[in-house]
């Protein structure tokens, strides 16, 4: 059941994470509203993907608070965490499809595991999801038989299977040609309008993020260097922000 009680689906406060002596996140705070898409940008190794793993509970923070759908992630046991995860869709950087399963079976997997749908209900749901991402003609293909962009589409359909309130994207356009990357960006916009979900998108693609995000957050050395719209950040006088947007605009 979806909780309509809070304006914010994700609330992060003073989040800290280090690996040995390397501080990755140094006390960042971030809120994501219901229906809002936030793009998280920054240099490679700057903690963007770590942030997603902390939100979904794949890693534990060293300090701070992470609330997802009003649940404090850091205080949940494994069963409670798994219940929250059902409200979150995660698109991994490499799509992370099961090599031994067809496109159809990859998308059906979370439905088989977490719902009591009949075979017909599950099949109809899978067809609907794949139609949403333009992959309904490739049901019987294996992941090795489709392109990287098509794999991202199937991964997105699978992430949507349990009708999540939140979507987390890890570099959704990485490794794609500009046309395919733009198509994935358009798809994010389309799904956002149709399903009214909140999303956090980790990306290096400045102009892609401008197309589909409501707000951008730029990480630098474990902290938030800038936050706002594309125009806000592009007009920043901070040297790192200016440099990042200068290279990102080429």
Q: What domains can you pick out in the chain, each with its CATH number? A: 36-45+88-248 (3.40.50.300)
Q: Which of 98, 104, 138, 106 is nearest to 124 (CA)?
A: 104
What's the pLDDT score for residue 192?
80
User: Which residue numbers in the chain have pLDDT < 50?
Assistant: 1, 250
> Residue 144: left (phi > 0), alpha (psi -120 to 50), or beta?
alpha
Report pLDDT digits (tens) over 37-83. Answer: 999 999 888 889 999 999 999 999 999 999 998 999 999 999 999 99
Distance, CA of 182 to CA of 167 (rounded, Å): 18
Q: Is 101 exposed, middle or buried (0-12, 13-18, 19+ CB in 10 A)?
A: middle
pLDDT the model gives residue 1 = 42
pTM of the predicted protein model:
0.87
Determine the pLDDT at residue 249: 53
């Amino acid at each position: 059941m979806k909780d309509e009680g809070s304006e914010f689906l994700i609330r992060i406060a003073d989040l800290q994470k280090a690996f040995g002596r390397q501080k990755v996140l140094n006390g960042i705070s971030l809120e994501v509203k219901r229906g809002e898409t936030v793009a998280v940008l920054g240099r490679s190794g700057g903690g963007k993907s770590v942030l997603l793993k902390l939100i979904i509970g794949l890693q534990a923070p060293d300090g701070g608070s992470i609330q997802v759908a009003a649940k404090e992630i850091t205080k949940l046991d494994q069963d409670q965490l798994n219940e929250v995860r059902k409200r979150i869709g995660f698109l991994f950087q490499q799509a992370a499809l099961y090599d031994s399963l067809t496109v159809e079976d990859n998308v059906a997997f979370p439905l088989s595991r977490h719902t009591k749908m009949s075979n017909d209900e599950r099949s109809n749901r899978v067809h609907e999801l794949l139609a949403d991402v333009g992959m309904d003609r490739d049901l019987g293909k294996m992941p090795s038989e489709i392109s990287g962009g098509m794999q991202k589409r199937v991964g997105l359909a699978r992430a949507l299977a349990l009708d999540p309130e939140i979507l987390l994207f890890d570099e959704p356009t990485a490794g794609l040609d500009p046309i395919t990357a733009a198509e994935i960006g358009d798809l994010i916009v389309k799904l956002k309008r149709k399903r009214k979900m909140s999303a956090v998108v980790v990306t290096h693609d400045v102009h892609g993020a401008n197309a589909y995000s409501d707000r951008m957050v730029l990480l630098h050395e474990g902290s938030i260097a800038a936050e706002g719209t594309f125009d806000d950040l592009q007009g920043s006088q901070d040297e790192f922000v200016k440099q990042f947007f200068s290279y990102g605009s080429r």
